[in-house]
Amino acid sequence: MVLKATVFKAELQVSDLDRGYYGTHALTIARHPSETDERMMVRIVAFALNAAPMLRFGKGLSGDDEPDLWQHDLTGQAELRIDVGLPDVARMRKACGLARKVVVYSYGRAAEIWWKQSAADIARHDNLAVVALPMELTRDFTALAARNMRLQCTVQDGVVWFSGEEASVQFEPQLLKRFSGREARR
């Protein structure tokens, strides 16, 4: 018997003072049967931190080659590709060839080990940024998970306030690798 994805709905209000972006997004999130609430909430946080009118959820765990989030320009060219978790080096290398910018949001118990093993291999990719989310923090996100969510995200001076009806979380994402070269100027 094949298990189906569970559908979650979220109204997400984003006030990103650092980027000058303000918007409300009606999100429909399909949570794969093998996906945890923690991972799903990290996907929503990644959406909030990169919110834009054309940003969309990918198939995630359901699609091997699709990212968790992506944004295309009007010609169909991939502008932004976002993966959450601990992707292997080959996946990141391929992503860098497919999109103008790639962001990885790493989290979990093995994140520090993953970074130590991957850092040297991915350092040469100018269009790749890596952000670490502390394990204690991502566990706190699960308190916000519900089938119908009303979430607010405020970003100011690198500090993120993320709240829902049941809980609130404040954190500073740790930038492990930033865009370099010409991508840093875009």
Q: What is the pLDDT of residue 179?
A: 93
Q: Which single residue is written with the structure tokens 């100011």?
A: 156
Q: Over the stretch 1-50, which tens digit does the pLDDT of each residue have?
A: 567 889 999 999 999 999 999 999 999 999 988 899 999 999 999 999 99
DSSP 63: -
Residue 63 pLDDT > 70:
no
Q: What is the pLDDT of residue 135?
A: 86
User: Is 166 in a helix, a strand, or coil?
Assistant: coil
Contact between residue 72 and residue 64 where contact means Cβ atoms under 8 Å apart = no
Q: What is the pLDDT of residue 136?
A: 85
Strand partners, 177: 130
Structure tokens at 103: 């962001």
pLDDT category at 65 given cuts 50, 70, 90 is confident
Structure tokens at 185: 């100027």
Strand partners, 160: 155, 171
Sequence spans of domains, the chain: 7-185
Work out the end-to-end distance of the chain between its first and last CA atoms, rounded to an integer number of angstroms: 47
Query: Which element (helix H / strand E) includes 55?
Result: strand 55-57
Give strand ranges (E) for 40-84: 55-57, 69-72, 78-84
- Domain 7-185 classified CATH 3.10.640.10? yes
